[in-house]
Amino acid sequence: MRTGQSLFRRREAQFNHETYVEFLEDMTKFFFRRGHRIYLIQDNASYHKHPTTYEWFSKNRKYTEVFNLPPYSPDFNAQEKLWKYTRKQATHNRYHETETDLCAALTHTFDTMQNNPELIIPLVAQFCSP
């Protein structure tokens, strides 16, 4: 994350252990092919702890290392800072007439973050070692 590089995927389906493993596959292709080992810091969402997810991590140890946050520890979760930024940019004090409008606003915010890593770095700097 020192570069602020990020990856997001929009899913129409409910996010569960199956879609999480699909995301992990996409992320591995995106980052590892660039020669980066992947370090994942994840909270205690049920799909993070599903046996299928653990099996995927076991098979992909060469590429990934996983760190689980303690339960109920949002202060340790950098993603919470990104969600706060997203809400501020896309949803706070804004009326979205349709779900399509809301999705467009969120996608625009995620695209902006993905294409401008300098926006992300200050948000998560406290979580990165010097």
Instruction: Give the domain extent around 112.
Output: 17-127
Identity of the residue numbered 15: F
For residue 8, tell me if it sits in a domain: no
Are the C-beta atoms of 86 and 106 separated by less than 8 Å? yes
Relative to beta strand 64-68, strand 38-42 is parallel
CB 107 within 8 A of CB 11: no
The pLDDT of residue 29:
83
Measured CA to CA, the distance from residue 12 to residue 43 in angstroms comes to 22
Residue 32 lies in a domain: yes
**pLDDT tens track for 62-71:** 888 999 999 8
CATH number of the domain within which 80 lies:
3.30.420.10
Q: Is residue 51 part of a domain?
A: yes
Nearest to residue 88, comparing CAs of 119, 54, 121? 119
Q: What is the pLDDT of residue 5?
A: 64
- Flag whether 122 is in a domain: yes
In a domain? residue 2: no
Domain presence at residue 11: no
Alpha-carbon Rg for the chain, nearest whole angstrom, is 16
Domain count, the chain: 1
The average pLDDT across 1-25 equals 78
Do the domain assignments include residue 110?
Answer: yes
More confident residue, 26 or 31: 26
Q: Do 47 and 41 form a contact (C-beta atoms < 8 A)?
A: no
Q: Which residue has the tokens 């660039």?
A: 34
- Mean pLDDT computed over 106-123: 89
* Cβ-contact 38, 65 below 8 angstroms: yes
Q: Model pTM?
A: 0.71
